Amino acid sequence: MAMARDGLLPSFFSEVNMHTQVPVKSTILTSLVAATLSFCMDVEQLAGMVSVGTLLAFTIVAISVLILRYVTSDEVPLPSSP
């Protein structure tokens, strides 16, 4: 939803249900992609992909934190910096 608001995805994905405030269309699309992958792949392959994806996400966050630690706040404005 946030990527659609930022213009990285079509605005179709940013629409939320007025009653529940849930992005129903993006949730359905994500569920369809996950279901398709689970039906087309072996469980071991899918588990390997999930493990690699999780490790990659944690690695990117860790590297970003290290970079932000040594970059001055003048170069990158941070919401928590004075």
pTM score, whole prediction: 0.57
Predicted local confidence at residue 60, as pLDDT:
96
Report the chain's terminal Cα–Cα distance, integer Å: 29
pLDDT 10s digits, 38-69: 898 898 998 999 999 999 999 999 999 898 88
Q: Is the pLDDT of residue 31 over 90?
A: yes
Rg (CA), the chain: 18
Q: Is the pLDDT of residue 80 over 70?
A: no
Predicted local confidence at residue 82, as pLDDT:
57
Predicted local confidence at residue 76, as pLDDT:
65
Q: Where are the domains of the chain?
A: 1-40, 42-82
CB 33 within 8 A of CB 25: no
Quote the CA–CA distance of 17 and 5 in Å, as a whole number: 15
